[in-house]
Structure 1
Amino acid sequence: MEITTAEFLHDFHQELLAGAEANGRFQLSEFMETVANELIETGVTEGFELCHFRAKRGMRVDGYWFDDEGILDLFVADYESRDDLASLTKTDVDTTFKRVENFFEASISKGLAADLELTSPEYGLARQITDRKGAIRRLRLTLFSERSLSERIKELPDSVVADIPVTYQIWDISRLHRQRSSRSHKEPLDLDFEQMFGSGISCLPAHLGDKAYQSYLTVMPAEVLASLYERFGARLLEQNVRTFLQARGTVNKGIRATILNEPGMFFSYNNGITATAQSVETNMTDSGLAITRVIDLQIVNGGQTTASLFHTRRRDKADLSQIFVQMKLSVIDSQNSEAVVPKISEYANTQNRVNAADFFSNHPFHIRMEGFSRRIWAPAKNGAQRETKWFYERARGQYADAQSKLTPSEQRRFKAENPKPQMFTKTDLAKFENVWDDHPRYVNLGAQKNFAQYAHRIGREWEKSSDSFNEHYFKRSVARGLIFRATERLVSTQPWYKGGYRANIVAYTLAVLSEITKRKKGHLDFLRIWNEQGIDAVMDSVLSIVSCVVNEEITRPPDGISNISEWCKKEACWDRIQGRTVEIEKRLPSEFYSQLVSSDEQAAEVRTARQTQRIDNGIEAQRQVLAVPAEKWSRLHGRLIEKALLTPKEIGILKIAMQIPEKIPTEKQCTVLLGILEKGRTEGIVAD
């Protein structure tokens, strides 16, 4: 049964209270981070930096993000932890946005930074606005509100502040409720081409009456595609494509050269784009059939083409009026989208050598991690009577979906077994892992860029040895999460902490710790932290010492760099922090070093876990093979023989499978048989 917005508000407040306690944050900060993460996950914004600032001169800001395309996002909160659902009026909206505009104008034109504390986040933001004055091409103001927007407010017209175009958007509690309640867990784009561009897009239907899967071939004007990207940015791109672009940049030199030098040949040279939609409206015109409206347009291949058209128009003032792009549009209803869209995305992108790691929610790595999280019980904490689980959300909304059809008593039991503070997402996992294993700078680049880097790395490692991702890896990841979140809470309580840059401090603190253990040729005992479900007093002391030094380093950037968040993204910042590693080593208590696990012990643990995973993989392979009857193996054998697609080894193993249950294939043979099954599916032969 779907809950009302008032009920959602109550549940949301409880979620914020639990999150604020677990993360060591004030409720206002937890509110901003929670809503911002929703928007980052769905591509509304690329990232978020917390920055609370209020002044008597009618100024306010609560967060910001500079993207790579000249857009500055400024976020402001309307949050007082109200008990009841209230209405957000136009007067409230206008007043709140005016305060953000005042902050921006004071920063860009009136030297506000000179009046602010040098190490404060608001100084860094105000100074960066001044320094980037020539590069900011658009200001996007976003209001996060726990109230419900008045129905009298139909639209928020664009404006100009300090000669910069400004757009406005509001994420009130009702909109957040709609997003979380939607099947896709994101707000679908509703594109009315006639309203936006004056006419529909000519098309040819490419389906034969199957209402579940309609397809259209269209020729998209490049101006329309670039304008859509300018307005909606990453929201237009299916999540896997966003990851791909984050990892590899956005402008293709070949595409740019064609736009500038041979625009008339663009259609011939370019492969076009592949897109999906939940629904499409068409209209018959004098020129033929035209698409007039699309709900939830998502580009699953061609993101680089789309972004390059936009960038070349903006940076090079290119004329796109003579350029057209072929588009294949598949209409997939929301019930089938999770299964079908990733396949369209993967198959469409094979020409660009996008590996499977870029299609990440359905990558076997995530499926395996999800399986561990649903099966493995975490030890009860000291004083607790029951064990719990760490819920891994490989796809958006899984935690909510798992409860949606439960009775109230079943929901209480679910939450007791899977506490919300123990839910973690793909981007959380990427943070927990990258600070230890890859590079802390990636974490400071924002959740999406860090996840892209992690996806790329895990894809390579999975291809090399999937057995490395086992129960030990899962428990170690959770232990790293426990340390990460404990460090967040600890930093917030330190006497030297002034309320800014916590994410940067945490990332570099743990990276320093990782560096020190490597220098000592040892390893943290992650399994002990998993077993205790927390850190001890020794680790608490270590984190206090390291984080204090890190704070000193990041809050005094070198001359010429005014913004501390930007300083934290640079290689030089990590180099300078590493330069104090020897000094930090000497200040850590001897008990910390005595708790380290030797490299030999660590290697033995990893080796055993890998062997166990290999056995588990074999057992699972046998289970899947034995679920297919002998006669179906015989049919598959005959069809693949006809197509000459089997090797002598595969033929021999298939002959064993054709005698199930009289003969049982070995685990290694079952792995081969699963490969044959996949080969059959590729050829359109279904054996099961």
Structure 2
Amino acid sequence: MEISKEEFFEEFRREILIDAEAKSTFQLAAFMDAVTSELIETGFVDGFEFCHYRAQRGMRVDGYWFNDEGTLDLFVADFDCRNELQTLTKTDLEAAIKRVANFFEASVNKNLASELEVTSPEYGLARQIVDRKDLIRKINVILVSERTISDKVQDLPDGEMTGILTSFHIWDISRLYRQRTSRGHKEALNLDFIEMFGAGISCLPAHLGLNAYQSYLIVMPAEILSDLYERFGARLLEQNVRTFLQARGSVNQGIRSTILNEPSMFFAYNNGITATAQSVETISADTGMQIKRIVDLQIVNGGQTTASLFHTRRRDKAALGQIFVQMKLSVIDSNDSEIIVPKISEYANTQNKVNAADFFSNHPFHIRIEEYSRRIWAPALPGAIRETKWFYERARGQYADAQNNLTAADQKRFKTAHPKFQMFTKTDLAKFENVWDEHPKWVNLGAQKNFAKYAQRIGKEWEKSSDDFNEFYYRRAIARGLIFRATEKLVSEQSWYNGGYRANVVAYSIAVLSEISRRRDSALDFLRIWNNQGINKVLESTLGAISKVVNDDITQPTAGVSNISEWCKKDACWSRIQTRITEIEASLPAEFWGELISADEVAVDAQSAKRTQKIDNGIDAQKQVLNIPALQWAHLSSVLSRKQLVTPKEAGVLSIATQIPKKIPTEKQSLVLLEILSKARAEGIEVA
């Protein structure tokens, strides 16, 4: 049952109140975190740093992010804890934009930083604006509003701030509502090539027959591709490709060399681009068929080609007029996109030797964690009478989708069993894990880059031993999440906390706690934290002491670094904090050491869970094998034998499967049969 915009506003308002209370933070910070998390997840922005500054001289800013491509995102909030949905007028809109423009211009032209407290986030932003002035090629002013924009506001044309091209983006409650309730759970790009570039894009249809999905072959001018990337950035890239690029981050030198030295040969040398769309609109022209419009263009292979064209044109002043890129465009209905698009990514990217971690959205790791979250009940909180579950969003919007067709009463029961504050995403999980595994710098690089690092790491570990990712791993991850969220709340409540750099303090504080445990060949009792669904007073006191030292340290960056957030992204920041571990240990409460258990004890629990996982894998494999009739196995055996695609061992196991139910394959044999099944499907042999 789809809710109305007004109902969404009420639900969103309650969500903000709950989050602010849970983290002991201001409602404004909770509001900005909720909206920007959406924008990061869908690729609209790369990251977000909270920075609230409001001055009587008509200046305001509520957050920012510098990306790697010379773009500065400046966020300004229209938020006043309103109890009912109201209209954002054009006058209010223009006033909000003027305030953030005043902040930027005062930073550049009036040395605003000299008037600000040097440990404050606004000082760091004002100084970084000055330091990066010559590198900023574009500014995005993003107004985030709890109101709904007036119908009288039709568009906001680009402008400039101190001579820098500036675009304006409004994320009001109506736009957020459309995004959350859309089938794809993200705002689809609507690209009208005639409107944007004055002409359509020549193409050839590549689909045959009435039932075939639409597909087109396109020769895309590199200038247009670069322009699209400049305007929309990572929104053009399918999520897994964004992860791929975040993990690597560098311009492909071979592509760059061809652009600079042999532009006329680019089409011959480059493998081209594979892309998908929700829909395509074509027109007839003198030169043949042209694509006029593409809705939700997503590059699923060729993200590095696209980014390299853009960067080489910008950094090397390369001319792209002679360069064309071949593009294969497939029109995929959004209902099927979650299944089909990752497959297209995987198959199209084999040329780059991309491992499974790079296509992480549908990776078996995610599916397993999702299965645990739907099955495993968390112990009831003290004083509560019911157990609950943590809800893992493997794909965007799953939490909302799970409630769509429920009655009001069933929705209430669902939320009781799966409280919203116990919903966590892939990027949340990456934060929980990476800070404990001593990668605080990664967490400070932003949600997307941190997730990319996590995806790489887990992909490799999964290949070595998928059984390590078991119920113990899941419960430990939730315990780490409980510690992470408790530390966020605890830092906000400290007398020394001035409202800035909480994310940085939290990441490094937990990393210090992990380092202290590791040096003593010990660990926290994560299963006890899982059983209690929270941390005790001793651990709270410990984290309070650690976070005070961490805050004092990171707010005094080394000489030559003007921005604390940037300092927290450097290896040197973690190295310096590590030199203070002995000092930190001396300040901890004596009771803390009793909280630790030996690493050997943890290893015993992990090995036991690993053995159980192996058994579960075998049982699950056996169930899957027994669901396939013996005649199907006989057909598969015949085809594979004829093609000489089975080993003698596999042939023997297949002969048992052909006799189901007279003979039942063992769990070990069932695992072999599933591998055979996978091999057959890779050869295009389907089994029901």
- Fold match (TM-score > 0.5): yes
Residues 181-220 of structure 1, C-alpha deviations (whole Å, 9 max, x = no match): 1111000000000111111111111111345621100000
Alpha-carbon offset, residue 569 of structure 1? 0.5
Structure 2 partner of 1:340: 340
Look up the equivalent residue of 1:481 and give its one-letter code. G
Structure 2 partner of 1:440: 440
- Given that 1:275 and 1:298 are in contact with CA atoms closer than 8 Å, whether structure 2 keeps it comes out as yes
- Alignment partner of 2:77: what SS? strand
Structure 2 matches for 1:519-530, cutoff 5 A?
A: 519-530=519-530
- Given that 2:468 and 2:610 are in contact with CA atoms closer than 8 Å, whether structure 1 keeps it comes out as yes
- Alignment partner of 2:382: what SS? coil
CA distance, structure 2, for counterparts of residue 256 and residue 153 of structure 1:
42
Structure 2 partner of 1:469: 469
CA distance, structure 2, for counterparts of residue 210 and residue 552 of structure 1:
67
Structure 2 partner of 1:671: 671
- Does 2:66 align with 1:66? yes
- Given that 2:438 and 2:514 are in contact with CA atoms closer than 8 Å, whether structure 1 keeps it comes out as no
- Does 2:412 align with 1:412? yes
Alpha-carbon offset, residue 24 of structure 1? 2.1
Structure 1 partner of 2:270: 270
- Does 2:377 align with 1:384? no
Structure 2 partner of 1:232: 232
Residues 337-380 of structure 1, C-alpha deviations (whole Å, 9 max, x = no match): 11111100111111111111111111000000000000000000
CA distance, structure 2, for counterparts of residue 598 and residue 84 of structure 1:
54
- Given that 2:445 and 2:569 are in contact with CA atoms closer than 8 Å, whether structure 1 keeps it comes out as yes
Where in structure 1 are there 5+ consecutive unaligned residues?
Answer: none
- Alignment partner of 1:542: what SS? helix
Alpha-carbon offset, residue 305 of structure 1? 0.1
Structure 2 partner of 1:598: 598
- Does 2:498 align with 1:502? no
Structure 1 partner of 2:618: 618
Structure 2 partner of 1:151: 151
Look up the equivalent residue of 1:36 and give its one-letter code. T
- Does 2:242 align with 1:255? no
Gap change, CA 1:592 and 1:154, over 3 Å in 2 = same
CA distance, structure 2, for counterparts of residue 675 and residue 109 of structure 1:
65
Residues 539-581 of structure 1, C-alpha deviations (whole Å, 9 max, x = no match): 0110000000000000111221110000111111101100100
- Alignment partner of 1:202: what SS? strand
- Given that 1:521 and 1:599 are in contact with CA atoms closer than 8 Å, whether structure 2 keeps it comes out as yes
Alpha-carbon offset, residue 250 of structure 1? 3.8
Alpha-carbon offset, residue 165 of structure 1? 1.0
Structure 1 partner of 2:486: 486
CA distance, structure 2, for counterparts of residue 489 and residue 269 of structure 1:
54
Structure 1 partner of 2:660: 660
CA distance, structure 2, for counterparts of residue 210 and residue 618 of structure 1:
43
Look up the equivalent residue of 1:422 and give its one-letter code. Q
Where in structure 2 are there 5+ consecutive unaligned residues?
Answer: none
- Does 2:99 align with 1:96? no
Structure 2 partner of 1:582: 582
Alpha-carbon offset, residue 655 of structure 1? 0.2
Structure 2 matches for 1:49-198, cutoff 5 A?
A: 49-198=49-198
Look up the equivalent residue of 1:199 and give its one-letter code. A
- Given that 1:204 and 1:216 are in contact with CA atoms closer than 8 Å, whether structure 2 keeps it comes out as yes
Structure 2 partner of 1:564: 564
Structure 2 partner of 1:535: 535
Look up the equivalent residue of 2:638 and give its one-letter code. G
Identity %: 69
- Alignment partner of 2:399: what SS? helix
Alpha-carbon offset, residue 22 of structure 1? 1.7
Q: How big is the alpha-carbon RMSD for the aligned residues of Structure 1 and Structure 2?
A: 0.8
CA distance, structure 1, for counterparts of residue 523 and residue 85 of structure 2:
50
- Does 2:573 align with 1:573? yes
Residues 232-252 of structure 1, C-alpha deviations (whole Å, 9 max, x = no match): 000000000000000001410
CA distance, structure 1, for counterparts of residue 611 and residue 379 of structure 2:
23
- Given that 1:250 and 1:307 are in contact with CA atoms closer than 8 Å, whether structure 2 keeps it comes out as no
Look up the equivalent residue of 1:652 and give its one-letter code. G
- Alignment partner of 1:529: what SS? helix
Look up the equivalent residue of 1:166 and give its one-letter code. T
Structure 2 matches for 1:398-409, cutoff 5 A?
A: 398-409=398-409
Alpha-carbon offset, residue 533 of structure 1? 0.4
Look up the equivalent residue of 2:473 and give its one-letter code. Y
Alpha-carbon offset, residue 134 of structure 1? 0.7
- Alignment partner of 1:228: what SS? helix
- Given that 2:86 and 2:147 are in contact with CA atoms closer than 8 Å, whether structure 1 keeps it comes out as yes
CA distance, structure 1, for counterparts of residue 524 and residue 295 of structure 2:
50
Structure 2 partner of 1:12: 12
CA distance, structure 2, for counterparts of residue 468 and residue 175 of structure 1:
42
CA distance, structure 1, for counterparts of residue 226 and residue 210 of structure 2:
32
- Alignment partner of 2:134: what SS? coil
- Alignment partner of 1:62: what SS? strand
- Alignment partner of 1:335: what SS? coil
Residues 58-84 of structure 1, C-alpha deviations (whole Å, 9 max, x = no match): 000000000011100000000112122
Residues 402-440 of structure 1, C-alpha deviations (whole Å, 9 max, x = no match): 001100000000000000000000000000000011410
Structure 2 partner of 1:454: 454
TM-score (normalised: structure 2): 0.99
- Given that 1:212 and 1:332 are in contact with CA atoms closer than 8 Å, whether structure 2 keeps it comes out as no
Structure 1 partner of 2:288: 288
CA distance, structure 1, for counterparts of residue 443 and residue 530 of structure 2:
23
- Alignment partner of 1:251: what SS? coil
Moved more, 418-427 or 150-159: 150-159
Residues 312-338 of structure 1, C-alpha deviations (whole Å, 9 max, x = no match): 010111110000000000000111111
- Given that 1:212 and 1:333 are in contact with CA atoms closer than 8 Å, whether structure 2 keeps it comes out as no
Structure 2 matches for 1:330-369, cutoff 5 A?
A: 330-369=330-369
Alpha-carbon offset, residue 390 of structure 1? 0.5
CA distance, structure 2, for counterparts of residue 613 and residue 280 of structure 1:
46
CA distance, structure 1, for counterparts of residue 630 and residue 245 of structure 2:
45
CA distance, structure 1, for counterparts of residue 250 and residue 302 of structure 2:
11
- Alignment partner of 1:349: what SS? helix
CA distance, structure 1, for counterparts of residue 687 and residue 304 of structure 2:
38
CA distance, structure 2, for counterparts of residue 667 and residue 586 of structure 1:
53
- Alignment partner of 1:333: what SS? coil
TM-score (normalised: structure 1): 0.99
Structure 2 partner of 1:309: 309
CA distance, structure 1, for counterparts of residue 580 and residue 210 of structure 2:
65
CA distance, structure 2, for counterparts of residue 662 and residue 21 of structure 1:
61
- Alignment partner of 2:214: what SS? strand
Alpha-carbon offset, residue 595 of structure 1? 2.0
CA distance, structure 2, for counterparts of residue 459 and residue 28 of structure 1:
37
Look up the equivalent residue of 2:470 and give its one-letter code. N
CA distance, structure 2, for counterparts of residue 22 and residue 407 of structure 1:
28
Structure 2 partner of 1:223: 223
Structure 2 partner of 1:634: 634
Residues 235-289 of structure 1, C-alpha deviations (whole Å, 9 max, x = no match): 0000000000000014100000000000000000000000000000001111011
- Alignment partner of 1:538: what SS? helix
Alpha-carbon offset, residue 23 of structure 1? 2.1
- Alignment partner of 1:69: what SS? coil
Gap change, CA 1:625 and 1:485, over 3 Å in 2 = same
CA distance, structure 2, for counterparts of residue 425 and residue 509 of structure 1:
22
Residues 557-615 of structure 1, C-alpha deviations (whole Å, 9 max, x = no match): 12211100001111111011001001111221222112211122111100000000000
Structure 1 runs of 4+ with >6 Å offset: none
Structure 1 partner of 2:643: 643
Alpha-carbon offset, residue 681 of structure 1? 1.2
- Alignment partner of 1:300: what SS? strand
CA distance, structure 1, for counterparts of residue 357 and residue 557 of structure 2:
36
- Alignment partner of 2:299: what SS? strand
Residues 451-470 of structure 1, C-alpha deviations (whole Å, 9 max, x = no match): 00000000000000000000
- Alignment partner of 2:497: what SS? coil
